[in-house]
C-alpha cells in the first residue's frame, strides 16, 4: 500500500514536470515568433511641427527659423527641451514587446493617461506614437505604435520629456545682455536710490608698467553720483546676475500685475536701457515676488531668494574706506 502511494506521487510529480517543461518551451517559442517593428530614423532637422496631446489638452510647437514657438500666441521656448523631444522622436527605437493583451492601463497607455505624439514635415505626418509610463528601471518607456495593438518597450526614459505644461516649455529668460556693455546702474527702492557710473581712473605717471615698458592697462572704476568709489567686484557680480536672469514662472495673462508701484526698480544703461521692476508680495505666505522686465512683454514671478538677492544689503556696493 505504501509502495502504491509512492508510485502515485512520482506519477503526479512527473506530470507536473512535463507540463512545466511544455509551458516553458511553448512560451519561449511564442516569444521568438514575433518580430519587432522596424522604425526608420528621421532627420531631426526635417521636423517642423510637433503636437503633444495630453488628457488635459494639446500643445503645439512650430519651428520658426532656428527657434521653436509654442501655441497660438507663439511663445518663445526652451530650445534644450525641444531638442530632447526631437532626438527622441527621430531616433525612436523599440527593444521588446511586453504585451499584446490590450490591457493598456497597466502601462499608462489608456486614454486617461497616455500622451499622443505627432511629428510633421510641412503638412505631412511623418511619425505618430503613444507614450506611456517609464519602466520600473527608468531605462525604457512603454509605447504603442499606430495600427498596432501591442505594447513595446522603447529605449530611454522619456515620458517626462513630453509630459509638460505650457509654462514648462516656455523660455524663462526674462533679461539678457552682455555685462561688458553696461556703463550705469540705478537701483531705487523705498526712499533710497543707488547710482553707479562706470569710468576709467585718471592716468598715474608712477603706475606700474608692463613687460614692454608701457603703462599697464587701466581698469575701469564704478563711482557713485557724489564721487564715492563703488565696490567693483560686487557691482559687476550684481550686473552678471541680471545679465542672464530667468524667472520661476510666467503669470497668467488674465491676472495682470499692477505695475504702478514697484518696491524696487533696477535700470541698467548699455547699448539700450534694461529695466527690472519687482513688486510686493500679495500675501506674506507667497514664496515668490511678481515682476516685469523691459525684455519681455509678460509678467512673471521671481523666487524670494533671488528677488531679495537684488534688493538687500545694497550699501555694500559702496566701497568702504580703509581705516
pLDDT digits (tens, 9 = 90+) for 204-239: 555 555 556 665 556 789 999 899 999 999 999 999
The confidence score (pLDDT) of residue 218 equals 67
pLDDT at 100: 94
Query: Which set of grid coordinates corresponds to residue 298?
Result: 509678460
d(CA 300, CA 292) in angstroms, rounded, equals: 6
DSSP alpha helices (H): ranges in 211-289?
A: 232-243
DSSP 142-175: EEEETT---EEEEES--HHHH---HHHHB--EEE
Position 190 scores a pLDDT of 81
Closest by CA position to 62, among listed 304, 72, 270: 72
Positions of the chain with pLDDT lower than 50, given as ranges? 25, 28-32
Cα–Cα distance between 266 and 274 in angstroms, integer?
8
pLDDT score, position 256: 77
Q: What is the pLDDT of residue 259?
A: 78
User: Helix or strand or coil: residue 184?
Assistant: strand
Q: What are phi and psi of 194, to 5 degrees?
A: -115, 125
Q: Provide the b/e sequence for 152-164 (b: ≥16 CB within 10 Å).
A: bbbebebbebbeb
What is the Cα–Cα distance from 31 to 211, expressed in whole angstroms? Answer: 77
Helices and strands (DSSP H and E) totals, the chain: 6, 19
B/e letters for 198-234, b = 16+ CB within 10 Å, e = fewer, are beeeeeeeeeeeeeeeeeeeeeebbbeeeeeebbbeb
- How many Å from the N-terminal Cα to the C-terminal Cα in the chain? 111
Amino acid at each position: 500500500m505504501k509502495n502504491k502511494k509512492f508510485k502515485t506521487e512520482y506519477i503526479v510529480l512527473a506530470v507536473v514536470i512535463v507540463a512545466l517543461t511544455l509551458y516553458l518551451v511553448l512560451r519561449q517559442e511564442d516569444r521568438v515568433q514575433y518580430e519587432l517593428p522596424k522604425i526608420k530614423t528621421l532627420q531631426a532637422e526635417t521636423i517642423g511641427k510637433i503636437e503633444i496631446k495630453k488628457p488635459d489638452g494639446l500643445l503645439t510647437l512650430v519651428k520658426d527659423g532656428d527657434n521653436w514657438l509654442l501655441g497660438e500666441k507663439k511663445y518663445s521656448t526652451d530650445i534644450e527641451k525641444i531638442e530632447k523631444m526631437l532626438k527622441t522622436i527621430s531616433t525612436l527605437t523599440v527593444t521588446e514587446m511586453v504585451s499584446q493583451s490590450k490591457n493598456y492601463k497597466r502601462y499608462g497607455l489608456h486614454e486617461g493617461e497616455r500622451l499622443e505624439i505627432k511629428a510633421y514635415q510641412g503638412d505631412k505626418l511623418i511619425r505618430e506614437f503613444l507614450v506611456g509610463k517609464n519602466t520600473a528601471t527608468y531605462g525604457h518607456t512603454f509605447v504603442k505604435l499606430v495600427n498596432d495593438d501591442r505594447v513595446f518597450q522603447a529605449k530611454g526614459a522619456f515620458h517626462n520629456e513630453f509630459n509638460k505644461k505650457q509654462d514648462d516649455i516656455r523660455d524663462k529668460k526674462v533679461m539678457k545682455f552682455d555685462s561688458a556693455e553696461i556703463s550705469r546702474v540705478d537701483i531705487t527702492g523705498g526712499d533710497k536710490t543707488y547710482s553707479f557710473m562706470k569710468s576709467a581712473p585718471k592716468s598715474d605717471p608712477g603706475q606700474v608698467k608692463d613687460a614692454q615698458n608701457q603703462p599697464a592697462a587701466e581698469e575701469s572704476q564704478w563711482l557713485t553720483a557724489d564721487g564715492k568709489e563703488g565696490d567693483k567686484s560686487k557691482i559687476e557680480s550684481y550686473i552678471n546676475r541680471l545679465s542672464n536672469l530667468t524667472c520661476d514662472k510666467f503669470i497668467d495673462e488674465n491676472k495682470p500685475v499692477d505695475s504702478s508701484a514697484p518696491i524696487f526698480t533696477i535700470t541698467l544703461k548699455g547699448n539700450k536701457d534694461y529695466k527690472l521692476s519687482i513688486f510686493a508680495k500679495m500675501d506674506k505666505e507667497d514664496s515668490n515676488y511678481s515682476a516685469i522686465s523691459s525684455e519681455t512683454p509678460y509678467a512673471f514671478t521671481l523666487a524670494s531668494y533671488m528677488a531679495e538677492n537684488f534688493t538687500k544689503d545694497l550699501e555694500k556696493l559702496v566701497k568702504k574706506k580703509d581705516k
